[in-house]
Chain A
Amino acid sequence: MKLLTTNDSTAEQTGTVVFANDADPMDLPLEGIKRIDLHFPKFTDGRAYSQAFLLRRRREFTGEIRATGDVLVDQLAQMERSGFDVAVLRADQPLDVAQRVLASYPGYGVGRYQGDAVQIKPHFANTESTSS
């Protein structure tokens, strides 16, 4: 997952959609769209996780899905697993800590039991296919 600070983050360009967090991702026309910005008004508002999942898995969107707003170090891994590939850290979030936390606890924290937008199969299904 690519981490950006607010300084690095590029403004909206053509092909970028800023998508409200209560809008239905199933209705969004995707032709010509390269980037979709999903917003976290508060880090405790988890609607954008489901939006990202639906865009990535259900709509099979292959462009960039970017997390904006209240984007904190400790939620990055679950964003990545839900289908985000770029996150713009909130201004006060230290980039080095973000990188360390993301790297030390791979797969949101500590491993993964369930399938997600990136790895579709749950842990048990992977174990079965590798052991057979």
Chain B
Amino acid sequence: MYQYTEFDRQFVRARADQYRDQLTRWQAGTLSEDEFKPLRLQNGWYVQRYAPMLRVAVPYGELSSAQVRILAKIAREYDQPNAELFKDAQAKQNLLGPVLTGGLAIGSKLTAGYAHFTTRQNIQYNWIPLDKSADVMDLLASVDMHGIQTSGNCIRNITSDERAGIGADEIADPRPFGEILRQWSTLHPEFAFLPRKFKIAISGAREDRAATAWHDVGLHLIHNAEGELGFKVLVGGGMGRTPIIASVIREFLPWHQVMNFIEAIVRVYNRYGRRDNIYKARIKILVKAEGQRYIDDVEAEYLQIMEHDGGPHTISQAELDRVTACFVPPSLSCDRKSADAKIANILRAAAEDDIEFGRWLKQNVAAHKNPDLRAVTLSFKRLGQAPGDATADQLDKAAELADAFSAGELRVTHDQNLLLPWVACDQLPELWRAARKAGFARPNIRLLTDMIACPGGDFCSLANARSIPIAEAITERYQDMDELHDLGEIDLHISGCINSCGHHHSGHIGILGVDKDGLEWYQVSLGGSDGSNLSGDPLPGKVVGPSFTATEVPEVIEAVLETYRQQRTSGETFIATLRRIGMEPYKTAAKNARIPVVVQD
């Protein structure tokens, strides 16, 4: 992974010092609340429903075990609210009532002392007091980490494919470009106060595993007809109230011009993006309203940057080489012949007792660019723990597994799990046992219970409804592994409000929390796609009908899944059946799953 230079290190340390100075001025009252707010936000500090929330940047999702240990330390020592605040928060959440399912009442159960993986591969904490915030920034800086531009109307942390640099279908490694773009966008003086936040995703593989079409800018590494490397550039995608799939603005951009071109994209947006209405301020609205005129303006600005300004951000071969040298794969190999025999033995033995190892190989282990290696996903989706949450002990354990089995490296995935990118195939049985012992080996990756959920109304001040109890109720209902594997691969995405942090628009099944007269209701949508091979062309889902109560949601999901089971042909996935038969049968099933209101005299 990228190795910080002395300059990079000084930069992050100075940023931590600068933040401490700003915090001190705010505490002394010389910096007003309104003026401190964007400064703390640009370092990742929000103030949420009950407490501050910190979002830590994980550039393109890549982490070292040393970083994970510091993240664990922060969870253990700093993600700790005082008892009164915590008690008060739990009491307020209790007033929202439970989700009733299968004879169980599933309410909010707040937890502290943990970290949360986000869909944008970042890490969040929910309970760190603001007066400790500068100490936490120092700790992060000690392992080359920070919260720069994880919030605010600026260029956010750049995300990528969880299999960047290791995917068997990769055209070129996107991480060096992700890193070069990270450096370019970090504290860009002209682009710190854009009309709205700005998200870039970059993919180097044939399959889009980074949901690039759902981003403000999506970058795909490709080769042109002459065999030269470059980018297909997409612009103007986004979720929220107006889900829009990004348009192609450039079919081919030479790799060394990517910063100059994005500078043009962002400058035109900074000048013409709407600032009068927060819901119309994202670049997607500008691109949609202006169409070709926006594209022409960007091309004209790009020409000026190249011809008049001299293309100052043209990436030199030397700079690409310098950064690429950080991403040289660890030298690992394995005896494939003995590995195959070993795995076959374990599988045979395991099959006599249970088929869990085989299922784990199928769901949690992915092919690798290097045939001796595998990518292994550690599942953080289990009953009793919110999707993507990891306790301090779990983080330490994951770091230990990374050291033992994955050259000390991990990735945060878009689906809110951790991935070990460098596992030798002859170590799979050992890793499986160790992961099982740690509770990470649940073979549910990409299945229904590997759902995406935002923190929702348990933590977030924007949420209209809670996500976590809904996720818990559905997880509770689908505990049977045979049933889960029979249902197959399904993207279930839950957002607590229209800001869509839980990516409900792109779920095969999407659940969106809405507010009706101060009560929690949920819209269910079907057929969304993030653009992966399984899901097909990127597409927002369509709602099945008027919104449901929390208690109805698990019933509706069950009815929808039952419809799939009745209608599917042999081997057909959920999304394929839906595309073939259309929405109607599901709409009917969802409608019939409503719980009739008993009118009392």
Residues of A within 8 A of B (CB): 24, 43-47, 49-51, 53, 57-58, 72-75, 77-79, 81-82, 94, 97, 101, 104-105, 108-116, 120-125, 127-128
Q: Is B335 an interface residue (CB 8 A)?
A: no
Contact B187 A128 (CB under 8 A): no
Structural contact, B193 and A110, CB atoms closer than 8 A:
no
Q: Which residues of A contact B186 (CB under 8 A)?
A: 113-114
Contact in complex: B309, A120 (CB < 8 Å)? yes
* Shortest distance from the beta carbon of B445 to any chain A beta carbon, whole Å: 36
Determine if A50 and B35 form an interchain contact, defined as CB atoms under 8 angstroms apart: no
Given A74-B22, A105-B14, A110-B14, A53 and B316 touching (CB < 8 A)? no
- Asked if residues A124 and B316 are in contact (CB atoms below 8 Å), the reply is yes
**Given contacts A58-B304, A97-B25, A128-B319, is CB(A46)–CB(B192) below 8 Å?**
yes
**Closest residue to B319 on the A side, CB-wise?**
A124
Residue B374 at the A interface, CB < 8 A?
Answer: no
In chain B, positions 181-210 with a C-beta closer than 8 Å to chain A are 183-194
B270 at the interface (CB under 8 A from A): yes
Tell me, in angstroms, the Cα distance from A105 to B187 when the chains sit together. 12
Chain B residues close to A by CB (< 8 Å): 7, 10-11, 14-15, 17-18, 21-22, 25, 30-31, 35, 38-39, 153, 180, 183-194, 259, 267, 270-271, 275, 304, 308-310, 312-313, 316, 318-319, 322
Q: How far is the CA of A53 from the CA of B318 in the complex (A)?
A: 28
- Cα(A24)–Cα(B268), bound, Å: 11
Contacts of A81 in B (CB 8 A): 189-190
Asked whether B190 lies within 8 Å of A49 as measured between CB atoms, the reply is: yes
A82 to chain B, nearest CB (A): 5
- Enumerate chain B residues within 8 angstroms of A109, measured Cβ to Cβ: 14-15, 18, 187
Interchain CB contact under 8 A, A44 and B153: yes
Contact: B15 with A50, CB < 8 Å? no
Distance between B29 CB and nearest chain A CB, rounded to angstroms: 12
Q: In the complex, are the beta carbons of B187 and A49 less than 8 A apart?
A: no
* Sample of 24 A–B contacts (CB below 8 Å): A43-B193, A46-B190, A46-B191, A46-B193, A46-B194, A47-B275, A49-B189, A49-B192, A49-B193, A57-B308, A58-B308, A72-B35, A75-B192, A78-B190, A110-B187, A111-B7, A111-B14, A112-B189, A114-B185, A120-B309, A120-B312, A123-B183, A125-B316, A128-B318
Alpha-carbon separation in the docked complex, A46 to B155 (Å): 13
Q: How far is the CA of A124 from the CA of B38 in the complex (A)?
A: 29
Given A113-B11, A124-B183, 10 additional A-B pairs, CB 8 A: A24-B271, A43-B35, A49-B190, A50-B271, A53-B190, A58-B309, A78-B192, A114-B185, A124-B322, A127-B7
Q: Which residues of A contact B312 (CB under 8 A)?
A: 115, 120-122, 125
Distance in angstroms between the alpha carbons of A58 and B301 in the assembled complex = 10
Known: A78-B192, A111-B11, A111-B14. A94 touches B30 (CB 8 A): yes
| With A74-B35, A105-B14, A109-B187 as contacts: A114 and B21 at CB distance below 8 Å | no
Closest Cβ–Cβ distance, residue A5 to chain B (whole Å): 16
Q: Is there contact, CB below 8 Å, between B309 and A57?
A: yes
In the complex, the answer to whether A50 meets B153 with C-beta atoms within 8 Å is no
Complex contact A44–B193 (CB within 8 A): yes
Q: Whole-angstrom distance between the alpha carbons of A20 and B310 in the complex?
A: 28
Nearest-neighbor residue (CB-CB) of B182 within chain A: A113
Name the CB-closest residue of A to B308.
A58
Which residue of chain A has its CB nearest to the CB of B10?
A111
Q: Tell me which residues across on chain B come within 8 A of A94, comparing CB atoms.
A: 30
Question: Once the chains bind, are B270 and A50 in contact (CB under 8 Å)?
Answer: yes
Tell me the complex Cα distance, A115–B39, Å: 22
Task: Give bound CA distance, A58 to B17, whole Å.
Answer: 34
**When chains A and B are docked, how far (Å) is the Cα of A127 from the Cα of B512?**
49
For the complex, what is the distance from the CA of A74 to the CA of B23, rounded to whole Å? 12
Cα A47 to Cα B267 in complex, Å, equals 9
